[in-house]
Amino acid sequence: MKVLVTGGAGFIGANFVRRTIATRPDTDVTVLDALTYAGNAASLPSDERVTLVKGDIADADTVDELVRTTDVVVHFAAESHNDNSLHDPWPFVQTNVIGTYTILEACRRHGVRLHHISTDEVYGDLELDDPAKFTPATPYNPSSPYSSTKASSDLLVRAWVRSFGLEATISNCSNNYGPFQHVEKFIPRQITNIIDGVRPKLYGAGLNVRDWIHVDDHNDAVWSIIDGGRIGETYLIGADGEVDNKTVVETILAEMGFEPDAYDHVSDRPGHDLRYAIDASRTRDELGWEPTYIDFASGLRATIAWYRDNEPWWRAQKHATELKYEQLGR
Protein backbone atom coordinates (compact mmCIF):
# COMPACT_ATOMS: atom_id res chain seq x y z
CA MET A 1 0.00 0.00 0.00
CA LYS A 2 1.17 3.55 -0.76
CA VAL A 3 0.22 6.19 1.78
CA LEU A 4 0.57 9.94 1.33
CA VAL A 5 0.94 11.62 4.73
CA THR A 6 0.45 15.40 4.70
CA GLY A 7 2.12 17.18 7.60
CA GLY A 8 4.23 14.08 8.25
CA ALA A 9 7.16 16.13 9.59
CA GLY A 10 5.00 17.53 12.40
CA PHE A 11 4.36 16.01 15.82
CA ILE A 12 1.52 13.55 15.20
CA GLY A 13 2.32 12.96 11.53
CA ALA A 14 5.95 12.00 12.23
CA ASN A 15 4.85 9.61 14.97
CA PHE A 16 2.33 8.16 12.48
CA VAL A 17 5.08 7.61 9.90
CA ARG A 18 7.34 5.96 12.51
CA ARG A 19 4.57 3.67 13.71
CA THR A 20 3.56 2.78 10.15
CA ILE A 21 7.11 1.85 9.18
CA ALA A 22 7.51 -0.20 12.38
CA THR A 23 4.20 -2.06 12.23
CA ARG A 24 3.13 -2.30 8.55
CA PRO A 25 5.82 -3.91 6.41
CA ASP A 26 3.59 -3.75 3.30
CA THR A 27 3.22 0.05 3.42
CA ASP A 28 5.39 2.74 1.80
CA VAL A 29 5.05 6.34 2.91
CA THR A 30 5.40 9.63 1.06
CA VAL A 31 5.35 12.71 3.28
CA LEU A 32 4.18 16.05 1.87
CA ASP A 33 5.23 18.79 4.27
CA ALA A 34 5.99 22.50 3.84
CA LEU A 35 8.50 22.30 6.72
CA THR A 36 7.06 25.39 8.40
CA TYR A 37 8.44 26.40 11.82
CA ALA A 38 6.47 23.36 13.14
CA GLY A 39 7.89 20.79 10.73
CA ASN A 40 11.21 19.04 11.22
CA ALA A 41 12.70 16.52 8.78
CA ALA A 42 14.72 15.12 11.69
CA SER A 43 11.52 13.77 13.20
CA LEU A 44 11.19 11.27 10.36
CA PRO A 45 12.85 7.84 10.43
CA SER A 46 15.63 7.29 7.88
CA ASP A 47 14.18 4.39 5.95
CA GLU A 48 14.06 3.62 2.26
CA ARG A 49 10.28 3.19 2.55
CA VAL A 50 9.89 6.89 3.51
CA THR A 51 10.13 9.73 0.97
CA LEU A 52 9.89 13.38 2.02
CA VAL A 53 8.57 15.92 -0.49
CA LYS A 54 8.87 19.52 0.63
CA GLY A 55 5.77 21.34 -0.59
CA ASP A 56 2.58 23.17 0.29
CA ILE A 57 -0.78 21.38 0.50
CA ALA A 58 -2.33 24.45 -1.13
CA ASP A 59 -0.14 23.98 -4.24
CA ALA A 60 -2.58 22.18 -6.56
CA ASP A 61 0.05 20.86 -9.03
CA THR A 62 2.26 19.29 -6.36
CA VAL A 63 -0.74 17.82 -4.57
CA ASP A 64 -2.29 16.46 -7.78
CA GLU A 65 0.87 14.60 -8.81
CA LEU A 66 1.32 12.99 -5.37
CA VAL A 67 -2.35 12.08 -4.88
CA ARG A 68 -2.55 10.56 -8.38
CA THR A 69 0.03 7.91 -7.46
CA THR A 70 -1.13 6.97 -3.95
CA ASP A 71 -3.70 4.54 -2.51
CA VAL A 72 -4.70 6.58 0.53
CA VAL A 73 -4.11 10.11 1.84
CA VAL A 74 -3.84 10.72 5.59
CA HIS A 75 -4.23 14.46 6.03
CA PHE A 76 -2.47 15.81 9.15
CA ALA A 77 -1.04 19.06 7.73
CA ALA A 78 -2.38 22.12 9.51
CA GLU A 79 -1.46 25.22 11.41
CA SER A 80 -2.09 23.74 14.85
CA HIS A 81 -1.37 26.21 17.66
CA ASN A 82 -4.21 28.20 19.22
CA ASP A 83 -1.97 30.98 20.57
CA ASN A 84 -0.53 31.61 17.09
CA SER A 85 -4.02 31.73 15.61
CA LEU A 86 -4.96 34.51 18.03
CA HIS A 87 -1.91 36.52 16.98
CA ASP A 88 -2.19 35.98 13.18
CA PRO A 89 -5.18 33.98 11.87
CA TRP A 90 -4.39 34.15 8.13
CA PRO A 91 -2.03 31.12 7.84
CA PHE A 92 -4.76 29.08 9.55
CA VAL A 93 -7.33 30.04 6.92
CA GLN A 94 -4.83 29.43 4.11
CA THR A 95 -3.54 26.02 5.23
CA ASN A 96 -6.46 24.55 7.13
CA VAL A 97 -9.21 25.66 4.74
CA ILE A 98 -7.64 26.28 1.31
CA GLY A 99 -5.09 23.50 1.83
CA THR A 100 -7.79 20.98 2.75
CA TYR A 101 -9.87 22.11 -0.24
CA THR A 102 -6.86 21.43 -2.48
CA ILE A 103 -6.40 17.93 -1.03
CA LEU A 104 -10.12 17.20 -1.45
CA GLU A 105 -10.17 18.23 -5.09
CA ALA A 106 -7.16 16.04 -5.91
CA CYS A 107 -8.71 13.04 -4.10
CA ARG A 108 -11.97 13.64 -5.99
CA ARG A 109 -10.20 13.86 -9.36
CA HIS A 110 -8.29 10.62 -8.83
CA GLY A 111 -10.84 8.66 -6.75
CA VAL A 112 -8.40 8.31 -3.85
CA ARG A 113 -9.42 7.37 -0.27
CA LEU A 114 -8.89 10.17 2.29
CA HIS A 115 -8.65 10.14 6.05
CA HIS A 116 -8.93 13.64 7.50
CA ILE A 117 -7.36 14.33 10.90
CA SER A 118 -9.21 16.78 13.09
CA THR A 119 -9.65 17.88 16.66
CA ASP A 120 -12.17 17.82 19.49
CA GLU A 121 -11.90 21.63 19.59
CA VAL A 122 -14.46 21.87 16.76
CA TYR A 123 -17.13 21.17 19.40
CA GLY A 124 -16.25 24.19 21.58
CA ASP A 125 -15.95 23.57 25.31
CA LEU A 126 -17.83 22.03 28.25
CA GLU A 127 -18.50 23.23 31.79
CA LEU A 128 -16.30 21.61 34.44
CA ASP A 129 -19.26 19.87 36.09
CA ASP A 130 -21.08 18.86 32.88
CA PRO A 131 -21.52 15.07 32.88
CA ALA A 132 -21.69 15.16 29.06
CA LYS A 133 -18.75 14.44 26.75
CA PHE A 134 -18.38 15.22 23.04
CA THR A 135 -19.94 12.63 20.71
CA PRO A 136 -20.11 12.54 16.90
CA ALA A 137 -23.59 14.14 17.25
CA THR A 138 -22.39 17.18 19.25
CA PRO A 139 -23.04 20.43 17.29
CA TYR A 140 -19.98 22.30 16.04
CA ASN A 141 -19.24 25.42 18.13
CA PRO A 142 -15.55 26.37 17.68
CA SER A 143 -14.02 29.21 19.71
CA SER A 144 -10.70 30.23 18.12
CA PRO A 145 -9.38 30.93 14.62
CA TYR A 146 -7.58 27.57 14.87
CA SER A 147 -10.63 25.52 15.83
CA SER A 148 -12.95 27.39 13.46
CA THR A 149 -10.66 26.67 10.50
CA LYS A 150 -10.44 22.99 11.54
CA ALA A 151 -14.26 22.93 11.78
CA SER A 152 -14.41 24.48 8.30
CA SER A 153 -12.11 21.78 6.93
CA ASP A 154 -14.28 19.04 8.48
CA LEU A 155 -17.40 20.52 6.87
CA LEU A 156 -15.68 20.62 3.48
CA VAL A 157 -14.82 16.91 3.83
CA ARG A 158 -18.44 16.07 4.76
CA ALA A 159 -19.73 18.01 1.73
CA TRP A 160 -17.29 16.28 -0.65
CA VAL A 161 -18.48 12.89 0.64
CA ARG A 162 -22.15 13.75 0.21
CA SER A 163 -21.99 15.73 -3.04
CA PHE A 164 -19.20 13.97 -4.90
CA GLY A 165 -19.14 10.50 -3.34
CA LEU A 166 -15.59 11.01 -2.06
CA GLU A 167 -14.38 8.04 0.00
CA ALA A 168 -13.41 9.84 3.18
CA THR A 169 -13.50 9.45 6.95
CA ILE A 170 -12.85 12.02 9.67
CA SER A 171 -11.43 11.64 13.17
CA ASN A 172 -11.59 14.22 15.95
CA CYS A 173 -9.04 13.55 18.65
CA SER A 174 -8.33 15.12 22.03
CA ASN A 175 -4.99 16.61 23.21
CA ASN A 176 -1.99 14.46 22.27
CA TYR A 177 1.28 14.14 24.16
CA GLY A 178 4.48 12.20 23.48
CA PRO A 179 7.83 12.55 21.68
CA PHE A 180 8.55 15.05 18.85
CA GLN A 181 5.95 17.62 20.00
CA HIS A 182 6.96 21.23 19.33
CA VAL A 183 8.14 23.17 22.40
CA GLU A 184 5.39 25.77 21.87
CA LYS A 185 2.81 23.26 23.18
CA PHE A 186 1.89 23.02 26.87
CA ILE A 187 3.64 19.84 28.05
CA PRO A 188 6.94 20.16 26.11
CA ARG A 189 7.09 23.87 26.96
CA GLN A 190 6.98 23.15 30.69
CA ILE A 191 9.42 20.21 30.53
CA THR A 192 11.99 22.20 28.54
CA ASN A 193 11.49 25.29 30.72
CA ILE A 194 12.30 23.20 33.79
CA ILE A 195 15.38 21.74 32.07
CA ASP A 196 16.44 25.36 31.39
CA GLY A 197 15.88 26.41 35.01
CA VAL A 198 12.76 28.46 34.11
CA ARG A 199 9.53 28.11 36.12
CA PRO A 200 6.55 26.58 34.25
CA LYS A 201 3.85 29.02 33.09
CA LEU A 202 0.23 28.30 33.79
CA TYR A 203 -2.43 30.31 31.92
CA GLY A 204 -4.94 31.90 34.31
CA ALA A 205 -5.91 29.78 37.30
CA GLY A 206 -4.94 26.54 35.53
CA LEU A 207 -8.36 24.97 36.03
CA ASN A 208 -8.90 24.25 32.32
CA VAL A 209 -9.25 20.55 31.59
CA ARG A 210 -7.77 18.70 28.62
CA ASP A 211 -8.44 15.03 27.76
CA TRP A 212 -4.89 13.70 27.25
CA ILE A 213 -4.06 10.80 24.93
CA HIS A 214 -0.69 9.38 23.96
CA VAL A 215 0.15 10.05 20.31
CA ASP A 216 0.66 6.32 19.57
CA ASP A 217 -2.86 5.55 20.76
CA HIS A 218 -4.19 8.30 18.46
CA ASN A 219 -2.28 6.92 15.50
CA ASP A 220 -3.37 3.32 16.15
CA ALA A 221 -6.97 4.55 16.09
CA VAL A 222 -6.29 6.30 12.77
CA TRP A 223 -5.12 3.01 11.22
CA SER A 224 -8.19 1.24 12.65
CA ILE A 225 -10.38 3.79 10.87
CA ILE A 226 -8.48 3.48 7.59
CA ASP A 227 -8.71 -0.32 7.80
CA GLY A 228 -12.29 -0.70 9.01
CA GLY A 229 -14.07 2.65 9.29
CA ARG A 230 -17.30 3.35 7.43
CA ILE A 231 -16.98 5.87 4.59
CA GLY A 232 -18.51 9.23 5.47
CA GLU A 233 -18.34 8.63 9.23
CA THR A 234 -16.79 10.73 11.96
CA TYR A 235 -14.87 8.87 14.69
CA LEU A 236 -13.93 10.48 18.00
CA ILE A 237 -10.62 9.46 19.56
CA GLY A 238 -9.89 9.89 23.25
CA ALA A 239 -8.60 7.82 26.16
CA ASP A 240 -10.66 9.13 29.11
CA GLY A 241 -7.65 11.18 30.19
CA GLU A 242 -9.21 14.32 31.65
CA VAL A 243 -6.74 16.31 33.79
CA ASP A 244 -6.66 20.02 34.68
CA ASN A 245 -3.62 22.06 33.65
CA LYS A 246 -2.57 22.79 37.23
CA THR A 247 -2.36 19.05 37.97
CA VAL A 248 -0.34 18.46 34.78
CA VAL A 249 2.23 21.10 35.79
CA GLU A 250 2.39 19.80 39.37
CA THR A 251 2.92 16.24 38.09
CA ILE A 252 5.70 17.29 35.70
CA LEU A 253 7.46 19.26 38.47
CA ALA A 254 7.23 16.34 40.91
CA GLU A 255 8.47 13.86 38.27
CA MET A 256 11.43 16.15 37.56
CA GLY A 257 12.36 16.43 41.25
CA PHE A 258 10.97 19.90 42.05
CA GLU A 259 8.42 21.22 44.52
CA PRO A 260 4.99 20.87 42.86
CA ASP A 261 4.16 24.56 43.43
CA ALA A 262 7.32 25.90 41.71
CA TYR A 263 5.37 27.45 38.81
CA ASP A 264 4.02 30.90 37.86
CA HIS A 265 0.55 31.99 36.80
CA VAL A 266 0.60 34.16 33.65
CA SER A 267 -2.16 36.02 31.80
CA ASP A 268 -4.90 33.81 30.40
CA ARG A 269 -5.42 32.94 26.72
CA PRO A 270 -8.27 35.06 25.27
CA GLY A 271 -11.39 32.92 24.71
CA HIS A 272 -9.65 30.01 26.49
CA ASP A 273 -11.75 26.83 26.17
CA LEU A 274 -12.56 25.50 29.64
CA ARG A 275 -12.89 21.76 29.17
CA TYR A 276 -12.72 19.11 26.46
CA ALA A 277 -13.90 15.52 26.97
CA ILE A 278 -14.32 12.77 24.38
CA ASP A 279 -16.77 9.88 24.28
CA ALA A 280 -14.91 7.45 22.01
CA SER A 281 -17.44 4.62 22.27
CA ARG A 282 -18.14 4.47 18.51
CA THR A 283 -14.43 4.03 17.77
CA ARG A 284 -14.03 1.43 20.53
CA ASP A 285 -17.24 -0.53 19.81
CA GLU A 286 -17.18 -0.51 16.02
CA LEU A 287 -13.47 -0.87 15.40
CA GLY A 288 -12.28 -2.67 18.53
CA TRP A 289 -9.69 0.05 19.17
CA GLU A 290 -8.45 0.48 22.77
CA PRO A 291 -5.82 2.87 24.10
CA THR A 292 -2.74 1.21 25.58
CA TYR A 293 -1.36 4.18 27.58
CA ILE A 294 -3.84 4.10 30.45
CA ASP A 295 -1.61 5.67 33.13
CA PHE A 296 -1.01 9.36 32.29
CA ALA A 297 1.73 9.75 34.94
CA SER A 298 3.86 6.98 33.42
CA GLY A 299 3.25 8.32 29.88
CA LEU A 300 4.40 11.74 31.13
CA ARG A 301 7.49 10.18 32.74
CA ALA A 302 8.48 8.60 29.42
CA THR A 303 7.87 11.92 27.63
CA ILE A 304 10.04 13.81 30.14
CA ALA A 305 12.79 11.23 29.58
CA TRP A 306 12.48 11.70 25.81
CA TYR A 307 12.96 15.49 26.07
CA ARG A 308 15.92 15.03 28.41
CA ASP A 309 17.51 12.55 25.97
CA ASN A 310 16.78 14.50 22.78
CA GLU A 311 17.82 18.07 23.54
CA PRO A 312 19.46 18.54 20.08
CA TRP A 313 16.03 17.90 18.51
CA TRP A 314 14.27 20.74 20.39
CA ARG A 315 17.03 23.15 21.38
CA ALA A 316 17.05 25.10 18.09
CA GLN A 317 13.33 25.98 18.47
CA LYS A 318 13.35 26.94 22.14
CA HIS A 319 14.67 30.50 22.11
CA ALA A 320 12.47 31.73 19.24
CA THR A 321 9.41 30.09 20.82
CA GLU A 322 9.95 31.80 24.18
CA LEU A 323 10.54 35.15 22.41
CA LYS A 324 7.10 34.78 20.77
CA TYR A 325 5.53 34.05 24.17
CA GLU A 326 7.31 37.04 25.70
CA GLN A 327 5.65 39.28 23.09
CA LEU A 328 2.26 37.78 24.01
CA GLY A 329 2.97 38.37 27.70
CA ARG A 330 2.73 34.66 28.43
Using CB under 6 A, list all residues that contact ligand TDX: 80-82, 119, 121, 175, 185-186, 189, 201-203, 208, 210, 245, 269
In the complex, what is the shortest distance from the CB of residue 315 to ligand NAD, in angstroms, rounded to a whole number? 17
Catalytic: 121?
A: yes
Q: Which residues pair with 201 in a beta bridge?
A: 264
Q: Pick from ligand TDX, ligand NAD, none: which does 203 bind, CB < 5 to 8 A by kind?
A: ligand TDX
Contacts 24+ apart (CB under 8 A), 324-329: 324/84, 324/87, 324/184, 325/83, 325/184, 325/201, 328/83, 328/87, 329/266, 329/267
Catalytic: 146?
A: yes
Minimum CB distance to ligand NAD smaller for 11 or for 314:
11
Within 168-227, which residues bind ligand NAD (CB under 6 A)?
173, 175-176, 182
Catalytic: 28?
A: no
Within 68-97, which residues bind ligand NAD (CB under 6 A)?
76-80, 95
Stretch that binds ligand NAD, among 2-10, 132-140, 193-201, 320-328 (CB under 6 A): 2-10
Q: Pick from ligand NAD, ligand TDX, none: which does 38 bind, CB < 5 to 8 A by kind?
A: ligand NAD
User: How many residues at the interface with ligand NAD, by CB under 6 A?
Assistant: 30
Residue of minimal Cβ distance to ligand TDX = 119
Please give the residue ranges that form the binding site for ligand NAD (CB under 6 A): 6-7, 9-13, 33-36, 38-39, 56-58, 76-80, 95, 99, 117, 119, 150, 173, 175-176, 182
